[in-house]
Amino acid sequence: MDLFSPKFLLVGVVALIVLGPERLPAAARTIGALLADYRRVSADLRSRASEAVDSAGLREPLENLRQPLQELRRPLDELRRPMEETRAAWSSASAAGAVVPAGPDDLAGPAAVTPDARVVVPSAGWTVWDGSTVDPAAAELQAAEAG
């Protein structure tokens, strides 16, 4: 936890303005005590849950399930990476003003790139990344006029 991060500095300045220099130390002590209580209660809860798992004899079956679950997670992680890369590329294209299709059904026709670098994909109707709907006839007309 970085106490000199902009967020903490902003909270500190706001607290100083709202509480004033007289009440700020007492408020800081109260917050510190509350955080200490929270940590103590959460550690106690974790240890009690661990004891309950041990006393019920569930530790070994849970450990035996961990390995197969990790093996199932690897292919999912391999699928997630390209999806995240595609999402990031579409977000940056959308932020740059490009019209991007909302889904695979929107890729039904040939794509055209207009002179202002907007990609137009004629289809039966599709939604632009920002949620607005594009009329396919207008998109085809725009592509024809540009080409």
What is residue 103's DSSP assignment? Answer: S
Q: Identify any residues that bridge with 134 across adjacent strands, giving them in sequence order.
A: 126
Helices then strands, counting H and E runs in the chain, come out as 3, 4
End-to-end C-alpha distance for the chain, whole angstroms: 55
> What global pTM score does this model have?
0.39
Q: How far apart are CA 50 and CA 58, in angstroms?
A: 10
Report residue 36's pLDDT band, with 50, 70 and 90 as the boundaries: very high
Look at residues 34, 1, 33, 29 and name the one whose alpha carbon lies nearest to residue 15.
29
Tokens of residue 92, six digits: 């940056």
Could you identify the residue written with the tokens 């106490």?
Answer: 3
Whole-number mean pLDDT of the chain? Answer: 74
For 50-102, how does the pLDDT look when each residue is reduced to its tens digit (9 = 90+)? 999 888 888 888 888 888 888 888 888 888 888 888 777 777 766 666 655 55
Q: How far apart are CA 23 and CA 21, in angstroms?
A: 6
